[in-house]
Structure 1
Amino acid sequence: MIRLLLADDQALVRGALAALLSLEPDLEVVAEVDRGDLVVAAAREHRPDVALLDIEMPGLDGIAATAALRRAVPATRVCIVTTFGRPGFLRRAMEAGASGFVVKDTPARELADAVRRIASGLRVVDPALAAESLVSGGSPLTAREREVLCAARDGGTAADLAHALGLSEGTVRNHLSAAIGKTGARTRAEAVRLAEGHGWLL
């Protein structure tokens, strides 16, 4: 039996995944959590072969949870199962140690096959997303530029952002200007939108 851990903050989605995967004779869901920061503890307790993680979860996002899980329980392989099929997310998930990346509208039979392949040590990536990721390349943003753009999502002045991030206003303006230039945007709001669309922000 291949033992599975499911992590998704939407109970309906998590329940549907569990029900579908449990229909397979060789798959067993041994744990379910609704927060990213509960993944490692659940994996330590239940020792799953494969963890299926959503990206957007409270506590810890799926990419950070992947990295934490790979450090804490390296025998557990990770497959990201997400609505957000964005090239930037794919690249960052793989860098964090994920073995698979599939979108939630993947047919149940294909998802089960993906889980089996991941459990056997293979990598599985949604082919359309893999192609898009190769074409679009990696994120041009530095970690600090990404942090400033994330903070800018809710609006606020440069002074507000500086206060929230513990930076000077000039530094915030410089990072925003660089991010606007790198995304090819005309405004801060457009830079946020473009970066989110590519999966460069979380």
Structure 2
Amino acid sequence: MIRLLLADDQALVRGALAALLDLETDLEVVAQVGRGDEVVAAALAARADVALLDVEMPGLDGIGAAAALTAQVLGCRSLIVTTFGRPGYLRRALDAGANGFVVKDTPAGQLADAVRRVHSGLRVVDPDLAVASLTVGSSPLTEREAQVLALAADGGTVAQVAAEAYLSEGTVRNYLSSAMGKTGARTRAEAVRIARENGWL
């Protein structure tokens, strides 16, 4: 029996996934959480074999949760199951140690098969997303540029972003300008939009 942990901030989605996966004779949902920062504790407590993680969750996103599982929970593999099939998310998830990445409209039988394959040590990636990821390429943004752009995305002024990132205002302006140049954007808001659409933030 493969023991599953479901992590999704939408209770209805979690419940639907649990109901579908519990229909499989070799799969058992042993834990459900609605926040990314609850994943590691739940995986340890329930002795989960595979964690199905949404990307966008409060506390810690699914990519961060996959990284935490890789570092802290030996024997628990992670499968990103998300609505947001963005190429940058795929690359970041795999870099974080996720063992698979599929979108939520994957048919139930294919999702169950993806869980089994991840559990057996294989890597599973949505084929359309894999092609898109190769086409788009990796993020052109440095870690700091992405951080500053993400802080600015919430509407923060340069002074507010500088205070939160522990940088000077001039350095924040330079990072924002560089991010705009690398994304081909004319404005900060456009740079945020482009980066989000590609999964770079």
Same fold (TM over 0.5): yes
Alignment root-mean-square deviation, CA: 0.8
The normalised TM-score by structure 2 is 0.98
List aligned pairs for 1:136-155, cutoff 5 A.
Answer: 136-155=136-155
Tell me which residue corresponds to 2:56: 56
Counterpart CA distance in 1 for 2:7 and 2:123 is: 19
The answer to whether 1:37 aligns with 2:37 is: yes
The answer to whether 1:161 aligns with 2:176 is: no
Partner of 1:52, secondary structure, is strand
Tell me which residue corresponds to 1:81: 81
Counterpart CA distance in 2 for 1:127 and 1:93 is: 15
Counterpart CA distance in 2 for 1:23 and 1:157 is: 50
Identical-pair percentage: 73
1:66 maps to amino acid: A
- 1:100-148 alpha-carbon deviations (Å, 9 max, x no partner): 1000111111100111111111111000000010111100101110011
1:50 maps to amino acid: V
- Gapped regions of structure 2 (runs ≥ 5): none
Shift of 1:163: 2.4
Counterpart CA distance in 2 for 1:118 and 1:192 is: 33
Tell me which residue corresponds to 2:128: 128
Counterpart CA distance in 1 for 2:99 and 2:153 is: 30
The answer to whether 1:46 aligns with 2:46 is: yes
Aligned pair count reads: 201
Counterpart CA distance in 2 for 1:157 and 1:198 is: 24
1:151 maps to amino acid: L
Counterpart CA distance in 1 for 2:156 and 2:114 is: 43
Partner of 1:29, secondary structure, is strand
- Gapped regions of structure 1 (runs ≥ 5): none
The answer to whether 1:108 aligns with 2:139 is: no
